[in-house]
């Protein structure tokens, strides 16, 4: 059955910002490709709900976004793409001196290598249309750096540089590349923090609260619909924190 809807790939969509983004894009009429690594049952349930409530096509696809082979298999299912949202990511809290090489490489592969794999595969699909949007979900730590989160900070700093450089490369082809640098968002990624630590963070934020996944999703959707002259930007959403 043919469809004239725009299509979006959202990685890491089973929970948090990715799940909220999937809902926002479905409500806006996008057909969706959604990925997760481990929570396929949760993602399939979301896909079914979005199909039924928003009348869009929605595929739930298991994939380790830090694995080149998994991403290649994912794109075998995608023949047309308007928007790529690189949201899949992982955190690691601990001293750098206690971190193993395997842990370091895993954080970098999931958070940064994944952007290389997905963009390399998505760009030809966008070039064929002479348009496209690539949106990377970054963090304030990519610019500020965070103690006990060196690998995560390095990966997001790399994502910011990746965004700016790729935007310049693709601007002549009418493909825009931007990033959303989130502050503290109320997601399961912060589950490693105690209630006291979260309260301490809240007190540092001028908005006096944590951000919501829905707010991040709204900004991501706005970037997908932004003017084509907006590219190469790292847009911070942190309640005035930094």
Q: Which residues are catalytic?
A: 152
Backbone phi, psi, residue 95, to 5°? -65, 140
Q: Residue 77 burial (CB < 10 Å; 0-12/13-18/19+)? A: exposed
How many angstroms separate the Cα of 12 from the Cα of each of 24, 86, 172, 202, 238?
15, 8, 29, 26, 21
Relative orientation angle of helices 114-127 and 150-170, to the nearest 10 degrees: 20
Helix (H, G, I), strand (E, B) or coil at 172: helix
Relative orientation angle of helices 114-127 and 68-75, to the nearest 10 degrees: 20
Q: Which residues contact 238 (CB under 8 A, 6 or more apart)?
A: 140, 181, 182, 183, 184, 205, 211
CB distance 8 to 32 below 8 Å: yes
How many angstroms separate the Cα of 153 from the Cα of each of 64, 138, 174, 219?
21, 10, 30, 22
Interatomic CA distance for residues 178 and 167, integer angstroms: 7
Interatomic CA distance for residues 149 and 214, integer angstroms: 25
Nearest CA-CA partner of 234 in 175, 126, 157: 157
């Amino acid at each position: 059955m043919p469809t004239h809807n725009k299509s979006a790939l959202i990685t890491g969509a089973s929970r948090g910002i990715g799940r909220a983004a999937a809902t926002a894009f479905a409500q806006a009429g996008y057909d969706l490709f959604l990925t997760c690594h481990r929570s396929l049952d949760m993602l399939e349930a979301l896909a079914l709900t979005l199909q039924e409530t928003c009348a869009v096509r929605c595929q739930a696809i298991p994939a380790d976004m830090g694995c080149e082979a998994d991403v290649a298999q994912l794109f075998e299912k995608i023949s047309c793409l308007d928007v790529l949202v690189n949201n899949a990511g992982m955190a690691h809290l601990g001293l750098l001196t206690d971190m193993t090489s395997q842990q370091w490489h895993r954080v970098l592969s999931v958070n940064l290598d994944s952007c290389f794999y997905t963009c390399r595969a998505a760009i030809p699909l966008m070039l064929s249309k002479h348009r496209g949007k690539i949106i990377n979900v970054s963090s304030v730590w990519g610019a500020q750096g965070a103690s006990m989160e060196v690998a995560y900070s390095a990966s997001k700093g790399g994502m910011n540089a990746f965004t700016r450089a790729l935007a310049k490369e693709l601007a002549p082809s009418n493909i825009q590349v931007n990033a959303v640098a989130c502050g503290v968002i109320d997601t399961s990624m912060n589950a490693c923090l105690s209630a006291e630590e979260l309260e301490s963070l809240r007190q540092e934020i001028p908005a006096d609260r944590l951000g919501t996944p829905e707010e991040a999703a709204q900004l991501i959707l706005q970037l997908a619909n932004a003017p084509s002259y907006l590219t190469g930007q790292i847009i911070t959403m942190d309640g005035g924190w930094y």
